[in-house]
Chains A and B, each alone.
Chain A
Amino acid sequence: MLPQRFKLWKMHFKLYRTRILIGLAIILLIAASVWGMMSLESFYRNQTLAMMPLQLIMVALNALIFVYMYMNLFRTGGTASKNIRMKSNLVNVKWDDVIGLDAAKTEAWEVVQLIKDRAKVKNIGGKIIKGLLMLGPPGCGKTYLAKAIATESGMPFLSMAASEFVEMFVGVGASRVRQLFKKARELAAGYGGCIVFIDELDAIGRNRTFSQFGGQETNSTQNQLLVQIDGLQEKEENVIVIGATNAPEESLDPALLRPGRFDRKIFIDRPNLEEREKIFAFYFSKVKYEKSLDIKRLARKSVYKTPADIENIVKESALIAARDDKDVIDFKHVSEAIERIDMGLKHRRSLVPKEKEQTAWHEAGHVVVLYLLHPTDDVFKASIIGRREALGVVHRNPREELFTRSKEALLADIKTSLAGYVTEKIKFGTTSTGVESDFNNAMATAHNMVWRWGMSGIGMIGNYSFYEAPNHGSDLAESTKEKLNKETQEILQSCLKDVEDLLKKEWKIAEHIANELLAKEELEYDEIDAIFKDYGKSQTKS
């Protein structure tokens, strides 16, 4: 009991020694003042006391002016970091609150167990994991998981964003790193362990540059971080460093990633269908929603969405429901929220009837081809209400997570893009500039199919674009380029013909959709699906 208490006192002294020493100095000064006053004759004592309030005001005023000047002139040069310590009980993110990161949680749980019971590992003779790197796209819950680890392990949690280390003055970042780890070691000595969390690690963890034109501050900060992590191992202190970044692993400095530093890497990816369902259920549990709302369907509709996106969708849905003066959130609100997040706010322009009609037909063409030909994507919504620069839009989303694209899907992408152009040409006998972004997409896909992915019909395989990279120079023969470009155009022409054939065949459906769009301006998936079913068509499945 006593040694433990002594350890705590020692830790408190180390942590707060500046404050303790200042406090002692103040007490000594006060004692000296009292003693000095006692030795003064009463007249001079009274004179001194009478002047004291004014002196106190003057000192306070001087201090204020000094601090103000210091903060303004040298604030950026100060090495003192902000209050970074959080007690684990104040972090307040429970392990069970982390939803949908099952794989990452399993790996992290192991780390938590190691932190909590390091003796077990030591008995076996193993070395404690000192660094844990969380990688993955933004908004997937890296920080959230780190907080949950802190809560679960019950240890002090020091959190800092890597950008807070970086200053314009060389050496400030390194100094802050030293301060952070010094504090962590002191806390670990008192509480038996400490977690240091560095968010957005890429700010100091990028590949170091060895140039005379800057980058020294980042280099020195990173060097200091490397030294401190190594230092932890030498002293065998239970300090775990958790880094989080959404930058690709390759962009981080190899020295940082080598074993002994960030030993364990956890990739936190976007949630899968099941996880999205859980996340939707979690966030919907905090709001009022219509019980008929199909959460499974929402999960299917939100492929590639991160937990942060889903949270945002629910939040936005609540706002829309409130704006519509509704007590509960229904599917329409969620749909509008997704649309608002993905496509931006509606921007109503007054179009002349001719242009409006042309837009409706253009979008109807996209819808027909997308619905009937695309093997992986669904129509989510069609609209002729302007958003950003576009006059109309067909919003689609994949049915499931696919991490590669098949040739068929790519061809369907091209056909979908060309559908607007073809429809305008058939209906009006002319086309508009509204096809530009469609052509950009179609051409880029066709180009990549031929140049990069070996999907041409002439048997030329390989990634030719590598030899056309800006920093590589052009090593390709003109004849090769000509062949490749010709094949790109072949793909486009072939797709164009397929689209023409399809649209001519299904012209009535296109006309129906165009008329519906002109009447309603927006069509949800269910309405579109109903139209196709009326004509005896069902969606193509992959």
Chain B
Amino acid sequence: MKSEVRSQRSEVRKRNLSSVFCLLASALVALSIAGCGPTFPKGEFKESIIRLCKKEYKLDVKVKTVGKTVAIYVPLTNLLDFTFALTPDAGEKLNQVILSVTRVVLSTDAKYDFYCVIAHDVKIPEIQIIIIKSVEDVRRFLLGDISRGEYGKRMLIDMRIAPQAQKERAIRDVFDRMKIDAKWQEGVMQDFFMSEPTTLGDIGYWAGKFYIKDVKLTEFLADEIASRIKLSFRDDKVLADSLALKAVKGLYFPGDTSNGGSGYFKVDITAEPRTAEALSSKEVSDGLFSYALKVSYDVMHGYHFKDFDYVEIKSLADGRSSKVMKEDLDNYKPKKTKIEDVMVFDSF
């Protein structure tokens, strides 16, 4: 009798359990269905950014896409103060645009790798602020995969005079002096001087037109190395006291794939010694290369990028240059590996 009662009770228990299971399963199914589908479909991608900026922040922006890159033009007023620093108001508006773009780029089925925000003051359109970000970096930051500090280092921020404006001013000056008819000037300008950009440095917005290119990861990484070296000079007192950084440029040269070559990165640093002792100091020079090496390692390692043969670092001030092979860079351990173990110097 007891076993009968027990079996009936276990039946009831089983029924209860199965109804609880059904309830949970249907909840999961409902949630999964709710999770399907992008919020900003591919076909409405550009309009979504424009609508979001307008609706939520009352900002009028323009959007253009090239390949896997999105460019957003933000016209602002009072972009810079008299010290040429970004005004708080402009900074807030830029952040709002970046946030809108981020939201759309992350919640769409359109595949974009980079986005580029171009901001300028409508009164002085020649001066522009260009911010380039990798969509993957943004995603990883939001998922907590990279720190805020690292995320900050991974974006390219540049304030510059629009290259197109510089060219136009110089050419128009030539046209004026040559007294060329105005109706020919526009044609020549369009054909020869307002061509599409080939480097990240050429990206901009001028005279109602986007100058934008499809950003490649290699050139983005090359520029990021240069950007990080600049930041090292800002943050490291010993380096800054010894050397004055004049310029740093990162480039990527594609290899000859038919020979099995992948390409290489080249970093040109122009840093002048501040003192006579520093000029002849190997220690100071080694310090510079050591920084460049660590930055290269951080970038390649951070992006798990393997498609290159070596990184060439060149100090234009003393003509010293060095190559770091990919394998050596892979084995490099900051604070443990000696610079001589991984770098091969051409001269000193």
Does B5 lie at the interface of the complex (its beta carbon under 8 Å from any beta carbon of A)?
yes
Does A90 lie at the interface of the complex (its beta carbon under 8 Å from any beta carbon of B)?
yes
Bound-complex Cα distance A34 to B106 (A): 21
| Chain B residues with CB under 8 A of A26 | 23
| Chain A residues with CB under 8 A of B143 | 47
Does B37 lie at the interface of the complex (its beta carbon under 8 Å from any beta carbon of A)?
yes
| Chain A residues with CB under 8 A of B27 | 30, 33-34
Indicate if the CB atoms of B32 and A49 lie closer than 8 Å: yes
Does B39 lie at the interface of the complex (its beta carbon under 8 Å from any beta carbon of A)?
yes
Does A92 lie at the interface of the complex (its beta carbon under 8 Å from any beta carbon of B)?
yes
Tell me what chain A mostly uses at the interface: helix, strand, loop, or mixed.
helix
Does B34 lie at the interface of the complex (its beta carbon under 8 Å from any beta carbon of A)?
yes
Indicate if the CB atoms of B4 and A92 lie closer than 8 Å: yes
Stretch at the interface among A36-44, A387-395, A418-426: A36-44
Q: Which of B30, B37, B38, B142 contacts A30 (CB 8 A)?
A: B30
Does A45 lie at the interface of the complex (its beta carbon under 8 Å from any beta carbon of B)?
yes
Does B208 lie at the interface of the complex (its beta carbon under 8 Å from any beta carbon of A)?
no
Does A539 lie at the interface of the complex (its beta carbon under 8 Å from any beta carbon of B)?
no
Indicate if the CB atoms of B103 and A41 lie closer than 8 Å: yes
Indicate if the CB atoms of B39 and A42 lie closer than 8 Å: yes
Bound-complex Cα distance A33 to B8 (A): 36
Does A432 lie at the interface of the complex (its beta carbon under 8 Å from any beta carbon of B)?
no
| Chain A residues with CB under 8 A of B39 | 41-43, 45
Interface residues of A in 337-363 (CB under 8 A from B): none
Does A52 lie at the interface of the complex (its beta carbon under 8 Å from any beta carbon of B)?
yes
Give the shortest distance, in Å, between B214 (CB) and chain A (any CB).
Answer: 23
| Chain B residues with CB under 8 A of A23 | 23
| Chain A residues with CB under 8 A of B37 | 42
Give the shortest distance, in Å, between B47 (CB) and chain A (any CB).
Answer: 16
Query: Per-position contact with B for A230-274: 1 when CB-CB < 8 Å, else 0?
Result: 000000000000000000000000000000000000000000000
Give the shortest distance, in Å, between A102 (CB) and chain B (any CB).
Answer: 24
| Chain A residues with CB under 8 A of B5 | 86, 90, 92
Give the shortest distance, in Å, between A18 (CB) and chain B (any CB).
Answer: 14
Q: Which residue of chain A has the shortest Cβ distance to B143 in the bound complex? A: A47
Give the shortest distance, in Å, between A224 (CB) and chain B (any CB).
Answer: 29
Supposing A41-B39, A46-B35 touch, asked if A34 and B23 sit within 8 A by C-beta, the answer is no
* Residue in B4, B23, B35 whose Cβ sees the most chain A Cβ within 10 Å: B35
| Chain B residues with CB under 8 A of A38 | 34
Q: Which of A34, A41, A43, A86 contacts B34 (CB 8 A)?
A: A34
A contact residues, range: 20 to 34
Interface residues of B in 2-42 (CB under 8 A from A): 4-5, 8, 23, 27, 30-32, 34-35, 37-40
Interface residues of A in 12-26 (CB under 8 A from B): 23, 26
Indicate if the CB atoms of A43 and B35 lie closer than 8 Å: no
Q: Which of B4, B31, B40 contacts A33 (CB 8 A)?
A: B31
Q: Which residue of chain B has the shortest Cβ distance to A38 in the bound complex? A: B34
Q: Which of A34, A41, A42, A43 contacts B31 (CB 8 A)?
A: A34
Does B1 lie at the interface of the complex (its beta carbon under 8 Å from any beta carbon of A)?
yes
| Chain A residues with CB under 8 A of B1 | 92
Q: Which residue of chain A has the shortest Cβ distance to B33 in the bound complex? A: A34
| Chain A residues with CB under 8 A of B108 | 42
Give the shortest distance, in Å, between A311 (CB) and chain B (any CB).
Answer: 15
Q: Which residue of chain A has the shortest Cβ distance to B41 in the bound complex? A: A42
Does B107 lie at the interface of the complex (its beta carbon under 8 Å from any beta carbon of A)?
yes
Indicate if the CB atoms of A52 and B38 lie closer than 8 Å: no
Indicate if the CB atoms of B35 and A37 lie closer than 8 Å: yes
The contact sample of 16 A-B pairs, CB cut-off 8 A, is A27-B23, A34-B31, A37-B34, A37-B35, A41-B39, A41-B40, A42-B39, A43-B142, A44-B107, A45-B34, A47-B143, A49-B35, A52-B31, A86-B5, A90-B8, A92-B4
Other than the given A23-B23, A34-B27, 20 more pairs (CB < 8 A) read: A26-B23, A30-B30, A33-B27, A34-B31, A34-B34, A37-B35, A41-B103, A42-B38, A42-B40, A42-B107, A43-B103, A43-B107, A45-B39, A46-B35, A47-B142, A47-B143, A49-B32, A49-B35, A52-B31, A90-B4
Which residues of B line the A interface, CB within 8 A?
1, 4-5, 8, 23, 27, 30-32, 34-35, 37-40, 103, 106-108, 139, 142-143
- Counting from the closest, the 4 A-B pairs by CB-CB distance are A43-B106, A41-B107, A42-B107, A37-B34
